[in-house]
Chains A and B, each alone.
Chain A
Amino acid sequence: NAGVTQTPKFQVLKTGQSMTLQCAQDMNHNSMYWYRQDPGMGLRLIYYSASEGTTDKGEVPNGYNVSRLNKREFSLRLESAAPSQTSVYFCASSGPGPRLYEQYFGPGTRLTVT
């Protein structure tokens, strides 16, 4: 099992450009999440999807959109990138198991907006 995979690993954008961060999990998890982590800071929840077909805003949703394409995939879109969106983006998933809401994280996408 690959667990949670994210593409790309690194990306540099110019202000105003758009891009989509891809995330996929092969653990048959119902819930998926997108976080951002700024240097020296903790993780902040952008959006989450409790199940296929549903999405909800987290702590910092402004400037982002998400799509839960199917049970495996959850994408994050930046429509018009801004320097304030320079960050590391982590995708995570969670599902039924012995530990309630245990999240499995991907390796992250390091995004720089100039």
Chain B
Amino acid sequence: LAKTTQPISMDSYEGQEVNITCSHNNIATNDYITWYQQFPSQGPRFIIQGYKTKVTNEVASLFIPADRKSSTLSLPRVSLSDTAVYYCLLTGANNLFFGTGTRLTVIP
């Protein structure tokens, strides 16, 4: 299982932009990079997915350099409700290793 490495935790003040970086040196050609968000006592939910360059949706942006060995999830202007655990996964052919994720705490 191809694994990813993320910071264990991050703190941010409300209204700031938060960038969470994920390292995935052994990414395979067929792998996509997918991020999930998990609130306490709930299952994870999909945030964003990308293969290369930049992807943006209504909640986040995902930046992927040309070598694809890392990726950065960017959350603009976080609020208290963004406090959660964020997981970076490589998804392809049932490659499903969630890892421990990054616990983001947003401070008022």
Q: Which residues of A contact B (CB under 8 A)?
A: 4, 31, 33, 35, 41-45, 48, 50, 56, 58-59, 90, 92, 99-108
Contact = CB atoms under 8 A, between A and B. Distances in A.
Interface of B: 1, 32, 34, 36, 41-46, 49, 85, 87, 91-92, 94, 96-101
Given A31-B94, A42-B99, A108-B42, 4 more contacts: A48-B96, A92-B43, A101-B34, A103-B46
Contacts, number: 59
A95 B34 CA distance: 15
Contacts of B92: 100-101
Contacts of A104: 46
15 contacts: A4-B43, A31-B94, A41-B100, A48-B96, A59-B1, A92-B43, A99-B34, A99-B46, A100-B49, A100-B92, A101-B34, A105-B42, A105-B43, A107-B43, A108-B41
Most buried by B among A4, A48, A56, A101: A101
Contact of B97 (A41, A45, A105): A45
A35 B98 contact: yes
Contacts of A102: 34, 46, 49
A86 B32 CA distance: 32
Contacts of B45: 105
Contacts of B36: 103
B96 A108 contact: no
A108 B34 contact: no
A104 B43 CA distance: 8
